[in-house]
Structure 1
Amino acid sequence: MSFLHASAQEWAEDHSLAADVRFGRLESIAFQRHPEIYRWFGVDGSSAAERASRPAPSASGRALVWLTAVIAIIGIVAPVGAVAALGGDRFNFFRMDAENSVPLAGVLFIIAALTQLVVLVLWIVRGARWDALVTGIVVVAVIFSGFGLFAMPNSAAYDDFTGWEPWYPAVIASFVISLVSAIAMFARFRVRAPEAVADEPAAPPAVDAVSAAGAAIAALPAAERAAILSDRDNALEILHSRGILDEATLERALGHDLGTLFLLDDSPSGGTR
């Protein structure tokens, strides 16, 4: 559904006092259960029908978004957490012996290195284009992995912990992978994803639109046609009562057959007070 209002009357009640009325939009909302009909209501109707026809995001697409978010969070949290474990020990922000902080930091740097590798591969697969968010994640990893190069041996020396060497390659790997990634991404700074420019849906010729809409409306049950007409006309009355439509425009709009209100959008005085 591409409409935020359940009826044309609700739309009229919320309509801005400063904006002109788009009659095709109003009648499209009244017909919102029938995109095969309101698609004929000028530019507003065809645009709304095009939005309504777009497929909903697939389960795989949503899963990819969640996976990307998780990777981004891990890519930042892992190196920051590793340095926090080492730095807290070194500067007494909290007390953690090196025999505990160094292995913890080592595991986090392993996770950071693997995450940065995944980020780099995904970035290349997706075209190696500039992405500020991805680059920011990598830069954070470079900075904190760089801190880790000094923090791990210093923290170990502070507590006379000699078992830090097996964990140090993880720090180096995290730093090297993130540094290479950062250099590659900044080198591609001018390579941007093409901006998607949506083509404005072309409104069908008015004569054809009126004919096609009229035939589709005639096929609706009489009770439904009456309910839609009532919703449309009540919305027009609401716009008039709020001072958005003047008396002459209201009379012209009420005189239009169901499904032809969009023709007022192309008239010189359509939507004026």
Structure 2
Amino acid sequence: MATDETPDGRDDEHAVRLEAGAARLTILPDLGCRVGSLTVGGVELLRQGPNFGSFPMVPWCGRTRDGQFRNGGVLHQMPRDAGPHAIHGTGRHVAWRTAPGTTGGSACFYYDLAEPWPYKGRVSQRFELSEDRLDLTMSVETTDDSFPAQAGWHPWFLRNLGRGGQDALIDFTPGWMEERGDDHLPTGRRVETKPRPWDDCFGMPDGVDVTLTWPDELRLRITSPAEWVVVYDEQPPAICVEPQSGPPNGLNTAPRLVTPIDPLEVRATWAWEPLG
């Protein structure tokens, strides 16, 4: 796995940079259309490196058991890149295209689904940067058969902003925690929230609403109409807060069909407030 010192690609010739007030956003379409950098007042908020930043999870989120899912009576096999399972989708591994119309504060990107994903379709992602927020939208459309899909984001927010301040505090009130089995997949049981560290999925039926606060430095609120969020804080450098359209292994346990008349759309907002 890459280290914090691994170059983040911000000097890539295809990088797209957006600016709004003191906020600067760098998007790397050739590196899975991930956010390579988000700075506010010159302070980096994201862990650096080609495996980090913030990447899209699509057309599934988290782990899919044994890399397999069914669409009706058809069983499909995805590459197993997380032990016995398939993880985080294929979108983070491909180059995305930059759509026309990029302005100083917004940009759109897309790619067409292809092998190993067995269905035809298009995934689009839009970034809209303001002085105090980043609005994200991702959609999955089919150009042929209907299929189950998921979408979400996997940001690696720095646990410490590196200016001598305190580590980030996390605050949210989930409806439940999905019990995690020894295979790192939800068992199907909903339980009370257990102590950190977490690599766990939480249900938030009124929408994702999680706040990270670096005391006396910055407050960051992550919201989404999506009803699921994974929080991962087992690695010291970062805290991941991942809004997503369904739980891990959801292609099997909570399939959401993308049809020609009903695409999947997921939205999220990161809103910040300087405290210092």
Q: Same fold (TM over 0.5)?
A: no
Q: Which structure shows the bigger proportion of residues in helix conformation?
A: 1
Q: Which structure shows the bigger proportion of residues in strand conformation?
A: 2
TM-score normalized by the length of structure 2: 0.19
Bigger CA radius of gyration: 1
